[in-house]
Amino acid sequence: MALGVATVLLVVLAVAALGAGDLPLSPARVWAGLMRTDELAATVIWQIRLPRLCVAMLVGAALSGSGLVMQAYFRNSLASPGLLGVSSGGAAGAVIAIALGWAAWSLWVLPLAAVVGAVAATGAVVGLAHRGASTERLLLAGVALNALLGAATSYVLSSYTGIYERNAQILFWLLGGLEDRTWEHVLMALPILAAAAWLWPLGRPMDLLSLGAREAQSLGVDVRSLRRRLLGLATVLTAVATAVAGTVGFVGLIVPHLLRLLVGPEHRRLVPLSLVGGAAFVLACDLASRAAGGLRLGIVTALIGGPFFLWLLRRKS
Amino acid sequence: MAAATQELSALTLAHATVPGRLTDVSLTLAPGTFAGLVGPNGAGKSTLLQIAAGLLPATGEVTWNDRPLADIAVLERGQMAAWVPQEARFEFGFTVRSVVAQGRFAHGDDDRGVEEALAQFDLTTLASRPVNRLSGGERQRVLLARALATDARLQLWDEPLAPLDPRHALEVLRLGRARTRAGGTLLFSLHDLRVAYCLDVVVVLHEGRLRAAGPPEEVLTPALLHDVFGVRARTAPGLTLELP
């Protein structure tokens, strides 16, 4: 039921996103454009709006799915995708690529640098924590590495002030956004679909894990392999999302949290719902950012996410 | 499945050792044994139960039904034995029914025997309540119901009676007895030595070592009670509780 509602919402938002812009299109014209019977509409939709829509949905699904995984993994509904350094690693990689001028070589360099940074950061955290069994060690290593990578990013940002365009590009990237996304970006984001498909059937073991690793193990869950798989999937999801859209905060925290409040904690329902709900949330935020005259996506998600988070805190206490 | 042979032991620990916590513990429980694990705080009871459940690596060997634990895949372990922790922390508000249904994970279903388990532990009226809003004793009953829902022959419970009120404690003992009569094996840790007298076997741990194991009247001698627990035993008329 809830999944149906979320899907309908996503479709409505998608139609709105395809219709909104400098050239407003009615749903009928959106359809005509999609079918290529209206040439102008077809150009706008197929060249500009559809790739942006696809990237927005994939990024949303990825961040939200990844947040859900982290919350189950750490048995904490306040965990977020960036906990183990994926986002800050991706940011550091991207920022370095921009600052050194590599990003100008090809469209693929920046995302690739972000993915390399993200995966290296998570790898370092897991390596530093030494044993995957202890979530506390992982968390602490994540905190330490996040601080280090943040410092590295700030250093690059502060020492390249001379080259104005590069600095602007860095800031632009750090705030996250979906401007000028092309079909190539959609292609880059495709691993998200594969990771989501892999995550889909893990709902039940995630239920057991989220109530305690030892208990899950005694009930027949291979905890070590499940944890490795979840960590791998969360890393890929966030790394790819960061690579194509920059750092976009709060999605992975709020969407699963909100859905859990709405439909309960069972992951068999939450996994599909988080993927669809995350896509809808980012799409809505992107629409809002376009309506606000190009406010950065990362700012919009934080503007909505921050107050929401405070409201949750008040509600809890 | 091969032809069923009469197993000699439901659970065997051979020279189980965890440095600093448990030293060279060897123990065999026959099928159908209702066994209690006693010992002062820090004697290694929880450690022993976790080793027996295959959740804590230890030197030495553990076997279930005469099969080395190392040869049993994780999923099959989930069908053969159930372990109940001393206390559970529930971050998420799963319903009581869905937590009990988790016991069916290793069997690939999520309903067989769940309603019965709920009823046995007096949880039917609480079945739709979120588990993180329950009292300590209610949470304990949820965990025990989940353990019995697994249908596992070997049950390992860590201080199941501690948070329970007298009636539910007696109910749990009655359910445990019914399980062992049906061929199951149950080892649980406890502090109330008076309860230990109604069990088949009492295992005494002291400072990480096995001090004694056997029928309660043979094991719980005044000398041992003084040695291990530092108490003097005296039988005196007092309050006796039983189920109506």
pLDDT tens column, B81-92? 999 999 888 889
What is the interface pTM, i.e. ipTM, of the complex? 0.90
Question: How close B5 gets to chain A, by Cα (Å)?
Answer: 25
The answer to whether B17 touches B25, Cβ cutoff 8 Å, is: yes
Q: Find chain A residues with C-beta within 8 A of B106's C-beta.
A: 219-220
Asked if residue A25 is part of any domain, the answer here is: no
Asked if residue A142 is part of any domain, the answer here is: yes
- Span B110-129, pLDDT tens digits: 889 999 999 999 999 999 99
Does the pLDDT of residue B2 top 60, yes or no?
A: no
CATH, residue B39: 3.40.50.300
Instruction: Note every long-range contact of B95-98, with CB atoms under 8 Å and residues 24 or more positions apart, other chains counting.
Output: B95/A264, B95/B127, B95/B128, B95/B129, B95/B130, B95/B131, B96/B123, B96/B126, B96/B127, B96/B128, B96/B129, B96/B131, B96/B134, B96/B142, B97/B127, B97/B128, B98/A207, B98/A266
Nearest to B105 among A208, A265, A266 (CB): A208
Contact B92 A76 (CB under 8 A): no
Kind of pairing between the strands at B11-18 and B22-29: antiparallel
The answer to whether B44 touches B21, Cβ cutoff 8 Å, is: yes
Annotate B82-109 with three-state secondary structure: EEECCCCCCCCCCEHHHHHHHHHHHHCC
The verdict on A133 touching B (C-beta cutoff 8 Å) is: no
Contact A219 B105 (CB under 8 A): yes
Asked if residue A126 is part of any domain, the answer here is: yes
CA-nearest residue to A225 within chain B is B74
The verdict on A266 touching B (C-beta cutoff 8 Å) is: yes
Asked if residue B84 is part of any domain, the answer here is: yes
Give the Cα separation of B188 and B192 in Å (integer): 12
What residue numbers bound the domain in which A166 lies? 55-316
pLDDT band at B1 (very low <50, low <70, confident <90, very high): very low
Mutate to test the interface with A, among B74, B133, B158 (most CBs of A within 10 A): B74
Contact B82 A222 (CB under 8 A): no
The verdict on A261 touching B (C-beta cutoff 8 Å) is: no
CA-nearest residue to A73 within chain B is B91
- Return all residues near B20 (Cβ < 8 A) that are at least 6 apart: B208
DSSP state of B79: H
Counted across chains A and B, CB pairs separated by less than 8 A come out at: 74
Asked if residue A306 is part of any domain, the answer here is: yes
Asked if residue A120 is part of any domain, the answer here is: yes
pLDDT at A159 (0 to 100): 84
Does the pLDDT of residue B242 top 90, yes or no?
A: no
What residue numbers bound the domain in which B223 lies? 11-91+152-229
Average pLDDT over residues B49-67: 95
Asked if residue B110 is part of any domain, the answer here is: no
Mutate to test the interface with A, among B102, B133, B153 (most CBs of A within 10 A): B102
Does the pLDDT of residue B18 top 60, yes or no?
A: yes
pLDDT band at B213 (very low <50, low <70, confident <90, very high): very high
Question: How close A204 gets to chain B, by Cα (Å)?
Answer: 8
Nearest to B106 among A75, A76, A219 (CB): A219
CATH, residue A141: 1.10.3470.10
Contact B78 A219 (CB under 8 A): yes
Asked if residue A21 is part of any domain, the answer here is: no
Q: What is the pLDDT along chain A (317 residues), one digit of tens a residue?
A: 889 999 999 999 999 999 998 899 999 999 999 999 999 999 999 999 999 999 999 999 999 999 999 999 999 888 899 899 999 999 999 999 998 888 889 889 999 999 999 999 999 998 888 765 578 888 888 999 999 999 999 998 888 777 778 888 888 888 888 988 999 999 999 999 999 999 999 999 999 999 899 999 999 999 999 999 999 999 999 999 999 999 998 999 999 998 998 899 999 999 999 999 999 999 999 999 999 888 899 999 999 888 877 887 787 65
Asked if residue A74 is part of any domain, the answer here is: yes
Asked if residue B40 is part of any domain, the answer here is: yes
pLDDT above 90 covers a percentage of chain B that reads 87
pLDDT at B4 (0 to 100): 45
Asked if residue B19 is part of any domain, the answer here is: yes
Which is more confident, A311 or B223?
B223
The verdict on A307 touching B (C-beta cutoff 8 Å) is: no
Contact A218 B90 (CB under 8 A): no
Asked if residue A215 is part of any domain, the answer here is: yes
The total number of structural domains in chain A stands at 1
Question: How close A284 gets to chain B, by Cα (Å)?
Answer: 28
Question: What angle, 0 to 180 degrees and rounded to 10, lies between the N-to-C axes of helices A267-291 and A50-73?
Answer: 140
The total number of structural domains in chain B stands at 1
Asked if residue B102 is part of any domain, the answer here is: no
Asked if residue B33 is part of any domain, the answer here is: yes
The verdict on A220 touching B (C-beta cutoff 8 Å) is: yes
pLDDT at B212 (0 to 100): 95
The verdict on A85 touching B (C-beta cutoff 8 Å) is: no
Contact B94 A212 (CB under 8 A): no
Asked if residue B115 is part of any domain, the answer here is: no
Q: Find chain B residues with C-beta within 8 A of A207's C-beta.
A: 94, 98, 102
**Run of H or E residues at A4:** helix A2-19
